[in-house]
Structure formats: C-alpha cells, structure tokens
A and B are shown apart, each in its own frame.
Chain A
C-alpha cells in the first residue's frame, strides 16, 4: 500500500488514504449521494487502478485542510511562544478558517 514517501522526515506517516473511512463518512452524512467512480475500475490498466479513484480527491482535500490547520496552529503556538501546541491554538486556527 501507499507508504511514506519522504525519506528524510523524522516521523513517517502512512500516506494511504483511508478510503473506507471516507466512503463511510460520506455515506453516513449523505446517504442519498454517491461517491463517484469508485466502481468503474474496469480498466485494469494499472495495478493500482483500484481503490482511490473517487475518494482520492476527497482525501486530497482533507489533507490540504489538515495541512492548513496545522500550519495555522503552529503559527499560533509560535506566536504565543509555547513549545507545544495547545488546544487554544488549534481552536483559534479553526475559527479563523471556518468562521
């Protein structure tokens, strides 16, 4: 499965998108909707022509969101000169992005 790609980082994270999770969440929230393209994997061109078709972009969106949130939280923490990110920092960041 998709493994961490960056070599030089201190900690490595799974880069695989939790496809099942995303689909499940989507289904729960909006059972009437369908997530596209997850099933049309007939063109088995690629060994990976499997899972992440429809949810790849959703996953990307989540990634970017988390990324922005983390950056913002880090900025807040640095601004308050704490070595640790507190929930206040995270809250502030969330409020800023989501209003």
Chain B
C-alpha cells in the first residue's frame, strides 16, 4: 500500500494506516452503521470536495471515513487515498460506491475518534506543499457530488460530536465528556475552518489541526452546497506594528501640545486674567470693559461704594478708583463668564478664605469711615479687596452685614495687598456678593458717582437704608427681602435696567405678595384649614398656569430651586425605609 505518497496524502495515509492498525473492529454503533455508512460516504465525498479548497483535514476526515470499515475498506481506502493523491476523482467516486457497502460495520464515530487520537506523523508544514497543487483541479469536480452528498454530509457532523479524542472510550459517561470536548473542538475547528476556507489552501494547517478541523465540517456542507450562504470569516490581517506605532506617534504629538499649553481646566482664564490684572494697575481697560459690561449695576454699585468709603478722597481719584473697581469687576465678570478655574485658583481660594476670616474677625463694628480712612494708601489693593471682601461677605450673607462688611472688607483689602487674584477665585458668588454689598452702602453720593460712570446707572437699593434711619423695622427688612427678588428680576431680564424700572418691580412684587397671601388664605380656608400647606401652594401654581398636567410641581422645583431646597421639598426615599421629607 502506498504508505507515503510524497505528493500528497502521506499524512492521511499514515493516519489511515495507524487507524487501521489500531482500529477496533467493534462497532458500538451498530444500529447506526447504516447511517454511518452513508454518512461516511457523504463525508468522504465532502472531504474530497473540501480538499479542493485545500483543507487537509477534510482529507483526513475522508480518510477516517474510509477507515470506517477497516477490514473491508483498507484496501479501498488506500486506493482512495491514492486516488486522491493522484487527483483522480473517479477513484474517489468508485471508492465512494465501494465504501458505501463496507462502512456499515464500523461507525465513523469510532474511526474518527481513533484517527484523531493518533498523532500526526507528518510535520505541520508538510501538508502545505502537498495541498497547494491539489485543490485547483479538484475544486471543480466535487460540485457534482456535493448535492448528492449534501444530506449525507450534513448527517455526519451530527455523528461527529459524540466521537471524542479519547481513544477507545465508548462508555456513555465518557461520551458526555467527549461530547463537550468535541463541541469545543467543533467550535475551534469551525473557526479555523472558516478562516481557512476562503484562503483556498489550508497551508498552515497541521495534521493535528486538520484532524481537529474535521469537526468543523458542519459548516462546510452549507458552503459547499450554497456558496453564497457561506459565512466568510473576517479577513485577518497581521497587525502592522509599524503603522500602529506611527499612528501612536502621530496622535501623541497633538495631545501633548494641548496638555502643555493648557494646564488649567479651562483655557479661557488666559484671556480673562490679563484683563483682571491689567485693570488694577491701569484704567485704560475700564472704558472698554464698562461698555461691554451689561451688568453696569455692579460697577456702579462698586463705584458709589468706593465713593462712600473714601469721602475724603478727591473725586477724580475716587472716580478712577471706581473705574478700577469697575474694570476689576468687569474683569471678574469676564473671567467668571468664561471659566471657573484659573492658574491662581489656589491662591484665589486662599485669598477668599482670608477675606472671609478677616471679615469675621472684624465683625460689624468697624465703621465705614474708619475703613475708608485706612483705605487711603492702598487703593489698588482696595479695589481687589473690595471685590474680595464683598464677595466673601456675600458668602457670609445677609443684608445687614453689607454696610459693616464693606468697611471691614476695606480693611481686609488693605491688609491683603497681594492677592488680586483671590477675588476672582469665586467670581460668580463674589459678583453677587459685591453687588449686594455695594447696594447697601451706596447712598446719594452714588448718584453723583454714577453720573461719572459711562455705564448706565443701575442702583436699586438706595431708599432703604443709608438715607433714612427712621422706619427701619418695617421698611428695611421688607425692602431687603424685596431687593432679593428685584435682583432676581434684573438677573432674569438679562438687560440693563433703569432705576425707576427697578422701583416699579418693587411695587409689583409688593402687590404680588399681597395677592399671594390672599389666595393662600382662600385656599386654606377652602380646605378647612388654618395653616397653609404645600397643597395650597400647588393649587395656586396650577391656577397660575405654572403647574400643568405636563409640568408638575416637582419639575419646577428641580428646575428653579437649588439642590438644598429640592431635597427639602421633593420627598425622597432614604435608607432605613424612611422618606424625607415625611409625607
């Protein structure tokens, strides 16, 4: 027998030989033998066809099938193998016919198992040379046989899973393991087979792989019958390491530039900070900044504030001071608008903390006059300090603190000469605070100062405090509370407002509060209560059209109120099976 045909089937032949030698004539699958026989034939032809695509394993499988009946087919297998090796399809066909009769005695399962167990004799590389010349001529012929063998071929894969690599293991228990393993093998083989199919030549397939790949046959029949349905595995290209590295280099070039340039979380501060810094030493920016500054109120309030604090100073200096402050404020605003973080974030925060601490220390007792007197030498810092202090003040909070806060802030400013940036640390909160602070202390002189300001005069809170000390209890807190909403009004309006307009807003608010209380009273009375409850509020808002079926109260709460209030108003479940606020 042609043991080692150098051209092609040395490997399968050796396998076959081995199988034949070791083949166990027993046929545990007797009942299946008939089926196995036909299946074997089918797989044989299928393998033959697959060989056209260059799959060694198919040949091996065929070899396995051929060895299904080692006793009777030994010669035939060899002939078949020989025929294959020689590329003679007819031999295969004859073998097919012959094999059909002889396959019944041994199941392909056992045969395959045995073959798989045997190690390949040939090297992995061997088959490549062997396979290449073969596939082309053979590819054409199998097509005819494919259809006939399709059913058979399909059947074989079902049989294959039970067969395992374990030699001579036919116990059902073992079969389960084999099944699992074979399934895994199938998966592996399928993957390998798919990848190899399109290649046309299973060049790299080793014998073992070819053996293993036999389990991947389930996919083959389909592809053979209907090539269009064949699942093409993705073309795997070797990773081009060079290109990859090049890409890495290219991409890495860009980010480092960005990172180096923009060490701050926001790049905008670079734009804003120069304004801030320049505003202090020089006032050329003032005009431009004022012009662009929509929040003229702040600048003007700061102007009058400064005025008040330093009455002794020449008006020009004060005006310049105010301008500086305005510019500073504007600078703050511009910075704040752009960014929340700057290079000097840390020092800024520190500065603010210092400001706050100092404010607390100084308390409310410091008189404005004293503060203004102390301010004389450090005008520049004062500007910063003002902003800082006012901002820090604002963080403290209340309207009453505004007056003394301003003075203490001035002192603080003088104390902290070198912290211009600190004010801008929390520009947003600071802006509001400063605005708030300057509102209170800004008295009538503010009007004179305002006129010097290029921006629109804006002040709101003139009436309440500094002018009259009489109706303090009623008017002041009332106005102070209203001022809060008036500020909100100007904020929502986003446009500069006249002072008279703001007064008008005050009146409107007053009326509104009246209406509000009346309505709430009516609602509570309607509910038979003497206490106004949130339900009354909800009803009120519903009547106002704020709360609709689409927009619920909670939605509004979430939209407009800060988080702390939201937590208070919207019931939320917490741990321990508790809801807060309690319903």
Say yes or no: A5 contacts B562, CB within 8 Å. Answer: yes
Instruction: Tell which of B481, B515, B516, B538 touches A21, judged by Cβ atoms closer than 8 Å.
Output: B481
Interface residues of A in 31-89 (CB under 8 A from B): 32-37, 43, 45-46, 48-49, 52-54, 56-67, 69-71, 73-74, 77, 83-87, 89
Instruction: Tell which of B435, B513, B578, B582 touches A11, judged by Cβ atoms closer than 8 Å.
Output: B435
Contacts of B561 on A, CB cut-off 8 Å? Answer: 15, 56, 59-60, 63
Say yes or no: B428 contacts A53, CB within 8 Å. Answer: no
Contacts of A46 on B, CB cut-off 8 Å? Answer: 567-568, 580
Q: Is residue B492 contacting chain A, with contact meaning CB distance below 8 A?
A: yes
- Distance A8 CA – B340 CA, assembled complex (angstroms): 8
Take A24-B477, A84-B495 as given contacts and tell me if A35 and B568 are in contact as well, using a CB distance cutoff of 8 Å. Answer: no
Give the total of A residues in contact with B, Cβ under 8 Å. Answer: 68
- Distance A98 CA – B492 CA, assembled complex (angstroms): 19
* Residue from B428, B431, B560 having most chain A Cβ neighbours under 10 A: B428
Minimum C-beta distance from A68 to chain B (A): 8
Q: Is residue B514 contacting chain A, with contact meaning CB distance below 8 A?
A: yes
Interface residues of B in 484-520 (CB under 8 A from A): 484-485, 487-498, 500-501, 503-505, 508-509, 511-518, 520
Closest chain B residue, CB of each to CB of A78: B495
Interface residues of A in 3-28 (CB under 8 A from B): 3-18, 20-22, 24-26
Take A29-B514, A60-B560, A85-B501 as given contacts and tell me if A11 and B432 are in contact as well, using a CB distance cutoff of 8 Å. Answer: yes
- Distance A91 CA – B504 CA, assembled complex (angstroms): 7
Contacts of A26 on B, CB cut-off 8 Å? Answer: 517, 520, 532
- Distance A35 CA – B295 CA, assembled complex (angstroms): 36
Contacts of A13 on B, CB cut-off 8 Å? Answer: 432, 487-488, 491
Take A52-B568, A57-B534 as given contacts and tell me if A63 and B481 are in contact as well, using a CB distance cutoff of 8 Å. Answer: no
Say yes or no: A48 contacts B431, CB within 8 Å. Answer: no
Instruction: Tell which of A3, A60, A77, A98 touches B429, judged by Cβ atoms closer than 8 Å.
Output: A3
Closest chain B residue, CB of each to CB of A6: B428
Q: Nearest 10 CB-CB pairs, A to B?
A: A21-B481, A70-B492, A12-B428, A57-B537, A29-B517, A12-B432, A70-B493, A87-B504, A85-B497, A45-B580
How many interface contacts (CB-CB < 8 Å) are there between A and B? 239
Say yes or no: A3 contacts B395, CB within 8 Å. Answer: yes
Contacts of A1 on B, CB cut-off 8 Å? Answer: 397
Say yes or no: B537 contacts A61, CB within 8 Å. Answer: yes
- Distance A86 CA – B497 CA, assembled complex (angstroms): 6
Minimum C-beta distance from A57 to chain B (A): 4
Say yes or no: A2 contacts B564, CB within 8 Å. Answer: yes
* Interface of A toward B, CB cutoff 8 Å: 1-18, 20-22, 24-26, 29-30, 32-37, 43, 45-46, 48-49, 52-54, 56-67, 69-71, 73-74, 77, 83-87, 89-91, 94, 98
**23 residue pairs A–B, Cβ–Cβ below 8 Å:** A1-B397, A2-B564, A4-B429, A4-B432, A7-B340, A10-B333, A12-B427, A12-B429, A18-B484, A21-B477, A32-B530, A35-B532, A48-B564, A53-B569, A57-B553, A59-B565, A62-B485, A67-B488, A67-B492, A69-B505, A74-B494, A90-B505, A91-B504
Instruction: Tell which of B427, B517, B533 touches A37, judged by Cβ atoms closer than 8 Å.
Output: B533
Contacts of B492 on A, CB cut-off 8 Å? Answer: 66-67, 70-71, 74
Taking A13-B432, A21-B478 as given, write out 13 further A-B residue pairs in contact, using a Cβ cutoff of 8 Å, ordered by the A residue number: A4-B428, A9-B428, A11-B298, A12-B427, A12-B431, A21-B477, A53-B581, A60-B560, A61-B537, A65-B512, A70-B488, A84-B498, A87-B500
Instruction: Tell which of A33, A52, A89 touches B532, judged by Cβ atoms closer than 8 Å.
Output: A33
Minimum C-beta distance from A73 to chain B (A): 6
Contacts of A24 on B, CB cut-off 8 Å? Answer: 477-478, 481
Q: Is residue B345 contacting chain A, with contact meaning CB distance below 8 A?
A: no
- Distance A52 CA – B495 CA, assembled complex (angstroms): 30
Minimum C-beta distance from A18 to chain B (A): 4
Contacts of B495 on A, CB cut-off 8 Å? Answer: 74, 77, 83-85
Closest chain B residue, CB of each to CB of A7: B340
